Structure 1
Amino acid sequence: MIQRSVHLRNLIQSSSIGSLSKLRTCKFFTSQAAAASLPQVCEPSVYSDEEYADIDWNNLGFGLMPTDYMYTMKCTQDDNFEQGQLSPYGNIELSPSAGVLNYAQGLFEGTKAYRREDGRLFLFRPDQNAIRMQIGAERMCMPSPTVEQFVDAVKQTALANRRWIPPPGKGSLYIRPLLMGSGPILGLAPAPEYTFLIYASAVGNYFKEGLAPLSLYVEDESHRASRGGAGGVKTIANYAPVLKALTRARNRGFSDVLYLDSVNKKNIEEASSCNIFIVKGNVLSTPATNGTILEGVTRKSIIGVARDLGYQVEERSISVEELMDGDEVFCTGTAVGVAPVGSITYQNKRVEYKMSAHPMCRELYSTLVGIQTGLIEDKRGWIVDIN
C-alpha cells in the first residue's frame, strides 16, 4: 500500500499526457433524439464547431447549467472498472444505505474543456486529476479508474457536450468527475459497489467579483483540515465543514475564507476552494502540501510557469504575519483560475495590497493562458486536443 502511494505521487511529478496520445477520441451525437444510440456507439457529431447552445455567453457565472450528457461506469469492491457509457443528463438512483450517503465515501475532481479561436477543443492536464483521484481513492478505500479510463471518459463527456463549450474567451466547460461508494452498507466498512460519474456545466468566473481583486478573511476559530486527516485529498467530506465559516464571511462582504493550521494556529494553509501564493520581492512562496493541503493542478502549473520565467519558488510554512507583510497575494484553482487578492483581514486588522503596474500574478496568468490558447508553445505536454 505504501509503495503504491509513493508510486502514484511520483507519477504526479513525472507523468506526461503524451503517453496518453493513443487514446481513442470519438465525436458523439449531442441531440436528444440521438440519445438512444449514445451509450455504446461512437458517431460523428451533428453539431459543427460554430453551433452553440442557446444561452447568453456574455453573462456566464459559476452556477449549475445542466448540459446534454453524463458518463457513468461501475465496479465492485474487488473488481476493476470496465468501459462506461454516456447517457442523457439526469438524476441517478442510489440506495438509502449507499456508502457515499452514510459514510461520505466519495471523491470529486474538477477540470475544464476550452475552445480556441481556431475552433479546436482541448483539456488541460486531465492526467493530473486522474492521478490525484487514484491517490484519494487509496486513502478512502475505493477502487479507481486508470489514468487512461479517466482521461478517455473526460474526453467523451466534453465531446458529447461540445455545444456547451463557450466561445473563446467567454468561459469554459467545467467537468466534474465523481467517484462514490454507491453500494448499500449498514456497518462502517467500504461499500460493495462503486460508481464513477462525470457531468459538466458551462461556467464563467467563479467569484462574483469577476476579475476584481478578492477580499479574504482569515479564520482562526474553525479549521479546514488536521494532521492525519484527509485534507490532502479531494474527498467530499472536506467541503461541508467550511460552509459555516464561508457563509459568515460572505455575509460580511468577504470573497472567501483563508484557514490556518490546526496545530500551531499561525501558519496559513488554503482557502475554502483554492490554494494561495505570496510574493515578496522576486520570491514566490506557497504553503507546502504536507497532508492537510490539496495539491491543486493549477497550483502545480503556476509553480512550473514561475520557475520557467526565472522566479524563485518556495514551498514551505508561511505564517499569517508573513502573509500580511507580502507585496502581493493571489489564489489559484481550477474553478477560480488565478485570482489576485486585494485585501486580507485577520483579527480585525485589514491589510490592503497595492496593485503594481506589473504584478507577478498577471504575468503568470497570462503565460498560463497563453499556453492554453496556443499563443505560447506548450513544451510540457499539458494540452490535450479532443477534436
Structure 2
Amino acid sequence: MEIKVTLAQTNRTRPQDSALGFGNVFTDHMFVMDYSKDNGWHDARIEPYADFSVPPSAMVFHYGQAIFEGLKAYKTPDKKICLFRAKDNFERMNRSAKGLCIPQIDVDFVMDAMKKLIKLEEKWIPETLGTSLYIRPTIIATDPFLGVRASYTYKFFIILSSVGAYYADGLNPVKIWVEKEHVRAIRGGMGEFKTAANYAASLFASEEAKKNGYDQVLWLDGIERKYIEEVGAMNIFLLIGDELVTPILNGSILPGITRYSVISLAKKWGMNISERKISVEEVFKAHEDGKLTEIFGSGTAAVISPVGEIRYGDKVISIGDGTPGETAMKFYNALTDIQYGKAEDTENWLEVIG
C-alpha cells in the first residue's frame, strides 16, 4: 500500500528540552489509515496533525473499542535515531486487537510507516539524556451505529510527542497506594490488553490515592483481592532477599515490553528472578523480617521507577533510605544506556532508522 504524504503549511519550532513535560507537545504530522470490511486497511497517509471529524454516533464513544501502544524514539550522541523493541509493541497491539475484535494490522507495514513519519519529524526528537520522542499508535472504532456489536470500520493513527523525563523531579522513589476496594481487571477480562477501558477503570482509585498523597495505585487481583498485580502505569518488581519477584502474567496483567527487558537482563546477570504469585501479606511480612530491600516499577514512560513507600489500609512501610535502590539503578542505567546508544546492544533490542 502506498503512503500519501501531505506536508504541513506551517513550520513550528520544538520547545527547548528543559521546557518539555510529558505528552503535551505534538509534532507537525501524523500517520493515518482507515479500515472497512470491503477494502481492509486502506488510504494510508501522512498528513498535518489536526482534529479528526468523527460522528457523535461513532462506536468508540459508546462501546469502547479503542486500543493503543506507547513507545519511544531516541537520539544517540552521534545523532542517530533509534527505536527500542518497537516491533514488540505492534505485535502486542495485534494481541489487543484480537481481544477487542479489531482487525489485525500488518506489523511490517506500520513499522515502515512509523519510521517514515519519524524521519519526517526528526527535528522534534530532543537530544538531552532522559528526553525522547514518544510514539502513540491508536485504533478506534468509527461506525456510526448505536447497536452493540464490533464495528465494521476503524481508524488507525500514529501521533508523536516530544517529551522530557516522565518524572519531572528526577528518579526519586514514588509512593504507592494498594487499592483494597476497587478492581481494575480480572482474569478472562481485558487486563492483558492495552485498551482505553483499562485506564478508565483505574481513574477513580488513582484520584483517591492522589488525595491521600500517593503517586500511583498498586492493584490486587480481582478475585481474591490478595495477590499484587501491577501499578497503573507500570509492572512491579520486588527484591526479597536474593529473589527478584514480579507477578506472573495471569490474563489480567499487561505484558510490559520493559518488563520483558528487565527479566531478560536479570537472567543474563545470573539473578534469582521469579515470575510468581505474591500476596500483599507476603510483601509486608518480608518487610517486617528485613528481607524486602527494594521495589521498583518498569514501563516505557518512566523506564524504571523506584518505590519508597507503600500503604495498604492503615499499614504503611518505607523501603530503602529515600533514594533509588542499587538494583533499580542498575536496570535503569543498563536500559537507558542501550536506548541512547551509550552501551553495546547485546540483546538486539535497538533499531537504527536514520
Q: TM-score, normalised by structure 1?
A: 0.84
* Counterpart Cα distance in 2 of 1:264 and 1:353: 26
What SS does the aligned partner of 1:64 have? coil
Query: How far off is 1:214 after superposition?
Result: 0.5
Residue 302 (structure 2) pairs with residue 336 (structure 1): yes
Moved over 4 A (4+): 28-31, 355-358
Aligned residue number for residue 40 of structure 1: none
What SS does the aligned partner of 2:295 have? strand
Residue 350 (structure 2) pairs with residue 373 (structure 1): no
Between Structure 1 and Structure 2, which shows a larger proportion of strand residues?
2
In the alignment, which of 9, 13, 19 is matched to residue 32 of structure 1? 9
1:165 partner amino acid: I
In the alignment, which of 148, 155, 170 is matched to residue 195 of structure 1? 155
The share of aligned pairs that are identical, in percent, is: 38
Q: Residues 262 and 188 from structure 1, CA distance in 2 versus in 1: closer, same or farther, beyond 3 angstroms?
A: same
In the alignment, which of 24, 37, 47 is matched to residue 87 of structure 1? 47
* Counterpart Cα distance in 2 of 1:153 and 1:144: 16
Contact 2:171–2:324 (8 Å) recurs in 1 = no
What SS does the aligned partner of 1:32 have? coil
Q: TM-score, normalised by structure 2?
A: 0.92
Q: Where in structure 2 are the equivalents of 1:269-280 lying within 5 Å?
A: 269-280=229-240
Cα-to-partner distance string for 1:40-71 (whole Å, 9 max, x where unaligned): xxxxxxxxxxxx93413113221311211110
RMSD: 2.1
Q: Which runs of 5+ in 1 are unaligned?
A: 1-23, 35-51
The farther-off stretch of 366-375 and 352-361 is: 352-361
Cα-to-partner distance string for 1:107-161 (whole Å, 9 max, x where unaligned): 0100001111100011111111111111111111110211102212221232222
* Counterpart Cα distance in 2 of 1:166 and 1:96: 37
2:94 partner amino acid: Q
Q: Which runs of 5+ in 2 are unaligned?
A: none
Query: How far off is 1:246 after superposition?
Result: 0.6
Query: How far off is 1:209 after superposition?
Result: 4.1
* Counterpart Cα distance in 2 of 1:263 and 1:154: 39
Contact 1:223–1:261 (8 Å) recurs in 2 = yes
Contact 2:76–2:342 (8 Å) recurs in 1 = no
* Counterpart Cα distance in 1 of 2:144 and 2:318: 51
Aligned residue number for residue 313 of structure 2: 347
What SS does the aligned partner of 1:128 have? helix
Contact 2:294–2:325 (8 Å) recurs in 1 = no
Q: Residues 89 and 262 from structure 1, CA distance in 2 versus in 1: closer, same or farther, beyond 3 angstroms?
A: same
Cα-to-partner distance string for 1:204-256 (whole Å, 9 max, x where unaligned): 22235431110001010001101211000001111112111111111222110
Q: Residues 248 and 358 from structure 1, CA distance in 2 versus in 1: closer, same or farther, beyond 3 angstroms?
A: closer
Q: Where in structure 2 are the equivalents of 1:1-387 lying within 5 Å?
A: 32=9, 53-77=13-37, 79-82=39-42, 84-324=44-284, 325=287, 326-355=292-321, 359-387=326-354
